[in-house]
Amino acid sequence: MPHAIVSLIRSAAVGNHGRSSCRPLAWTAALVTLMATGPVSSPSAQAGPDCRDNLRERVCLQTDAQGRMVVTTRPLEAAPDTLPAVAVDMRPLFSQRRAILDVLDVASQRIVLDAAAISVYSRSDTGWRLDTATPISPPIPWPRDVRGRLIRQGDSVTAQLPALACVGAAAPAVARFTCETRPAAAADTPGASPRGNDEVTLVDECRRAPHALVRIDAEGGSDALGVFDARDRASSAAPARLLQGRLTALWSNAPGDTATAVVRAPDAERYDAYQIRLACVR
């Protein structure tokens, strides 16, 4: 080679405060050797440094005014983390032939509300085992599209139905419910369909940002769940999740991090309940 290669490595890493430091690194020396194997012209003909990247640093080889090869290194800048995307995650909760109004987990038990009973199940080796079932007698003629909620309140669970409230103790375990009539609300009247059944607000698990989870029509007689920015409904936050049937109930929990959705199968002979959350994917 017409010029001597000087083992001088100037590091520009943070913490060196601009001072040069000599670090005879084997992997850097190997890279320098590869870069310097080609023909080297006179110093005046050098157009600029020859730079290459390895896994950790950018290494630049340049001839100085004295004809020496000088190697400078700088740590590679970390690639910016891409923001995670939001996706609709659905976990199956329960399936049955009667229309499910709501599902609630209390400790190791699962409570299922429908228009005929409040059923309490426990997990067994073969699936869910029925512990108790409290029959429900409607105090008023219920609408065909009846709505009902299961709400945990301290040490009790309340089933809210049109003109009816049923309360059961949650500790040490949920058993039977006691039902009492209550004044009928506007949503209890036949034909009423609350808007909350088609739309709820959920926060995602990525940035705890609020999103609108909305029922939308899909092809083939099914529904889908769309996710939109809560402040800008024109901005979709995630791909729509196609449901295997029609959405009949959609409720969010108090913290707003999960929702319960009930889907009627296309043959109308099965209802499936799901827990929904807005998961993060990269």
Map tokens 């001839």 to a residue: 63
Q: pLDDT in tens for each of the 282 residues of the chain?
A: 444 444 444 444 444 444 444 444 444 555 555 455 544 444 445 557 888 887 778 888 888 888 888 888 888 776 555 567 889 999 999 999 999 999 999 989 999 999 999 999 999 888 899 999 999 999 999 988 899 999 998 899 999 999 999 999 998 889 899 999 988 665 554 444 333 468 999 999 888 889 999 999 988 889 999 999 888 777 788 889 999 999 999 999 888 899 999 999 988 789 999 999 999 887
Helix (H, G, I), strand (E, B) or coil at 76: coil
* DSSP string computed for 184-218: PPGGGSTT---GGGTEEEEE-TTT--EEEEEEEE-
Tell me which residue of 106, 95, 132 sits closest to 117, measured CA to CA.
Answer: 132
C-alpha dihedral over 157, 175, 197, 187, to 10 degrees? -70
Map tokens 């228009």 to a residue: 115
Q: Are the beta carbons of 226 and 214 closer than 8 angstroms? A: yes
Tell me which residue of 103, 187, 184, 192 sits closest to 138, measured CA to CA.
Answer: 184
The pTM for the full model equals: 0.67
